[in-house]
Amino acid sequence: MRRLIWLGVVFVLLWSGWWFFASSSMQNGLEAWLAERRAEGWQADVVETRASGYPFFLETTLVGPTLADPDSGVAFAASQLKIEAPAWWPGYVSVAFPQDEMIFASPLVRHTIQAQMALADFRLHPGTALEVEELALRSGAWVLASPQGSLMGAAGLTLSMVQSPDDPRQYTFVLDAPAFEPGQLPRSALRVPDDWPVTFDSFTIAMDVTFDRPFDRTTVEDARPQPRRVNMELAEAQWGALSLRGATMLDVAPGGLLNGDVSLQARNWQDILTLAEASGALPSELRPQLENVLGMLARGSGSPDNIDATLTLRDGRMFIGFIPLGRAPRLVLR
């Protein structure tokens, strides 16, 4: 019995020593990163740093963090950020955001975002390469606003990138914003009628992307992994009578050339063009040309209001059937 007690005491002492070492290393790493940013001319200030979480978690709370990049003019400020990792593997990091307003600013605009229970998860695979297993941002209800009014919001948010267990080069990407709601400013710019639905019925994207290598420490140190295959099972945006759906399977050659098919479905596409033109996203001089092409697709689908077509991308060009549409965009991560 006495031996078990001594073993327990030794284990507690060793674990406590490890916890204090790991906790100090986390805080020192954050302070070193902030010091490096200040040496580069950034504003990188924290009012207070608090350590907690003993015995099972490493928790560091940054009170009043403010970051500003002098080159881009981009700035971020919040009342606090809570960084947490399990003591047995600091490569699983979570960042909890405050529920009061956070500020994102640039030389041209100042935005605020308020989100309920917003949490960012960062999961690294054990090993020297530090492969990314998961990047995810999840929250409850959120609102993005500017001094002139609200821009957008939703009842929740899921934005994730998860590594496949079968192929470390493949990642599943998901974007889902239930009850997505354009704010006062975009509704006014789009001249949306007052009786139009407030929220989208759906706003979601799900796809698998295979890269030339996994995301790991070299992603920051050297160059970004480049996509080699894109399998988008679903991209859907439905707002009242307007509906856009898409799916695709694309191979990506070196240099970003796309080869494959894109399936497109659009309901009441004329109204979509009207909203795009009213917002400035579609120049008025380009609408007749685009309207002619989409009208031809609608007639081929059997309904003047709906489009159901397959777009073929081949060797940097786009086609519908045998009809060329011009150059296709390239897919390159800078």
User: Closest Cα to residue 43, out of 67, 74, 79, 76?
Assistant: 67
Residue 254 burial class via C-beta count within 10 angstroms: exposed 0-12, middle 13-18, buried 19 and up? exposed
Pair type for strands 43-45 and 92-96? unpaired
Asked if residue 330 is part of any domain, the answer here is no
Residue 38 has pLDDT above 70, yes or no: yes
CA distance 77 to 65: 6
Query: pLDDT (tens digit, 9 = 90+) per residue, 243-285?
Result: 889 999 999 998 888 999 988 888 887 877 777 777 666 777 7
Q: Is the pTM of this model over 0.85?
A: no
pLDDT top residue among 307 and 140: 140
Asked if residue 124 is part of any domain, the answer here is no
Query: pLDDT (tens digit, 9 = 90+) per residue, 183-220?
Result: 888 888 777 777 788 899 999 999 999 999 999 877 76
Task: Indicate the number of domains in the chain.
Answer: 1
CA distance 34 to 246: 43
In the numeric block, which tokens belong to residue 33? 């990163």
Domain span holding position 26: 1-108
Asked if residue 145 is part of any domain, the answer here is no
Asked if residue 166 is part of any domain, the answer here is no
Asked if residue 154 is part of any domain, the answer here is no
